[in-house]
Structure 1
Amino acid sequence: MLTIYGVYRSRASRPLWLMAETGTEFRHVPVIQSYRLEDPMAADAPLNTASPAFLKVNPQGQVPAIEDDGLVLTESLAITLHLARKYGGALGPMGEAEQALMEQWAMYAATSVESDAVEMLYIYRDGGAKTPEGQAAIAVLAEKLRRPLRRLDSHLAGRDWLLGDRFTVADLNTAEVVRYAQGHPTLLSEFPEVARWLAAAQSRPAFKAMWEKRSAEPE
């Protein structure tokens, strides 16, 4: 059986959302990030990314990871692309061209959006937006994000989803990365097609089910 390692409050949200879309049965092992624990090596510590048992799965000590019929994968976007191909039906590629496009959008999300969006998220999370230095950093990050968001906005004009008329793993992967920029009060409103598309993705029952479980976990 497919096993997914990682709590919902991590990049494991990506494969966990995908599995909610497919309805596929799987085993979930909620591995928490070690940095969130006071003493991850304590005898009573929950299974975490520094636990020897998990390091046998992913020696890099990061979640998510999966085991699927002997295959071990440890990068979230590679995981979702694999799961969509194997279990996702119409969420996965219908031919080589669609597979290439799904890989392209995964790389776009990872290389053009995620780093700056995550840094912005952390500034808001840690209260940095209340300081002049934090506001200045947010302004720089927002400006960096405008170019890739402009590209995404242009691509989505006249399309419901990234590949056209159906929701796919390309939308799921990209939406879960763009979500990190939602804390900015005005940035996404500058890109109405992106805002429309992201709202539609987050209105899906599978996303809502994933988000409910994520919200139930401790911060």
Structure 2
Amino acid sequence: MLTIHGVTRSRASRIIWLCHEIGLPFRQVPVIQAYRLPAPDAPDAPLNTRSPAFLKLSPAGAIPVIEDDGLVLSESMACTLYLARKHGQPFGPADSAEDALMLQWSFYATCAIEADALTILFLHNPGKTLNGSDAAAVSTAAERLLRPLAVVEAHLSAQGHMVGGRFTVADLNMAEVLRYAQPYAPLMDRFPTLRAWLEDCQARPAFRRMWEARLAEPE
């Protein structure tokens, strides 16, 4: 059985969502991020990214990590792309062209969007006033996101989905990155097609199942 190392309040959420889409059973080992613990190196600390047992599996000390049929794999995008390819359509590629496009859009999400989207996630609290430096950082991140989000908006307006005219791992990977910037209305309101597509992705039963488990975990 597939094993996922990592709490759901992490990028493991991407893998868990995909498993629910595929109907793939898995075992989850709730490794928590060390920075979330007051004393991650204490003898009684819960299993975390600095625990010696986990570092043997992941020398980088980062979650998620999966184990599948003897393969140990880290990096969440690599994990979702691997599982989608292994288990095939409709979430995986139908041919080499779709495979390449799924890689393209997943890399685009990671390289062109994720860093600035995370800035918004960490600093923007809806309904609260930001201090000067945080407000400037959010504004700068949103400005940098205008170009890549316009690319995604135009693609979705023409194609409906990221690849193949259907919901695939490319949609899932892109949606999980864009979720970080989703609460920032001044940005998202400029991209109505993207916003509607993201809401549709998050209305899927597999996403809701993952999200309920995520919310059930301690913050």
**After superposition, what is the alpha-carbon deviation per residue over 1:135-172, rounded to whole angstroms, capped at 9, x for unaligned?**
11111110000000000000011332112421000000
State the alpha-carbon separation in 1 of the partners of residues 210 and 88 from structure 2: 16
What TM-score do the two structures reach when normalised by structure 1?
A: 0.96
The equivalent of 1:60 in structure 2 is: 60
State the alpha-carbon separation in 2 of the partners of residues 159 and 203 from structure 1: 19
**Between Structure 1 and Structure 2, how many residues are aligned?**
219
Tell me which moved more, 40-49 or 207-216: 40-49
Partner of 1:27, secondary structure, is strand
One-letter amino acid matched to 2:191: F
One-letter amino acid matched to 1:189: D
Tell me which moved more, 37-46 or 11-20: 37-46
The equivalent of 1:46 in structure 2 is: 46
One-letter amino acid matched to 2:2: L
One-letter amino acid matched to 2:40: P
One-letter amino acid matched to 2:5: Y
Residues 126-141 of structure 1 correspond to what in structure 2 (within 5 A)?
Answer: 129-141=129-141
Tell me how far 1:25 sits from its aligned partner: 1.2
State the alpha-carbon separation in 1 of the partners of residues 88 and 48 from structure 2: 28
1:106 corresponds to 2:106: yes
Partner of 1:186, secondary structure, is helix
Tell me how far 1:185 sits from its aligned partner: 2.4
Residues 121-160 of structure 1 correspond to what in structure 2 (within 5 A)?
Answer: 121-124=121-124, 129-160=129-160
Residues 113-124 of structure 1 correspond to what in structure 2 (within 5 A)?
Answer: 113-124=113-124
One-letter amino acid matched to 1:143: E
Partner of 2:66, secondary structure, is strand
The equivalent of 2:161 in structure 1 is: 161
Identity across the alignment (%)? 56
State the alpha-carbon separation in 2 of the partners of residues 89 and 44 from structure 1: 44
One-letter amino acid matched to 1:52: P
Tell me how far 1:200 sits from its aligned partner: 0.6
The equivalent of 1:82 in structure 2 is: 82
- Report if aligned partners of 2:91, 2:169 keep a CA contact under 8 Å in 1: yes
Listed as ranges, the gaps of 5+ residues in structure 1 are: none
**After superposition, what is the alpha-carbon deviation per residue over 1:176-215, rounded to whole angstroms, capped at 9, x for unaligned?**
0000001212211100110011011000000000000001
1:191 corresponds to 2:191: yes
Tell me how far 1:134 sits from its aligned partner: 1.5
The equivalent of 2:170 in structure 1 is: 170
- Report if aligned partners of 2:98, 2:164 keep a CA contact under 8 Å in 1: no
- Report if aligned partners of 1:4, 1:67 keep a CA contact under 8 Å in 2: yes
Structure 1 residue ranges, 4+ long, deviating more than 3 angstroms after superposition: none
Partner of 1:187, secondary structure, is helix
Listed as ranges, the gaps of 5+ residues in structure 2 are: none
State the alpha-carbon separation in 2 of the partners of residues 15 and 5 from structure 1: 10
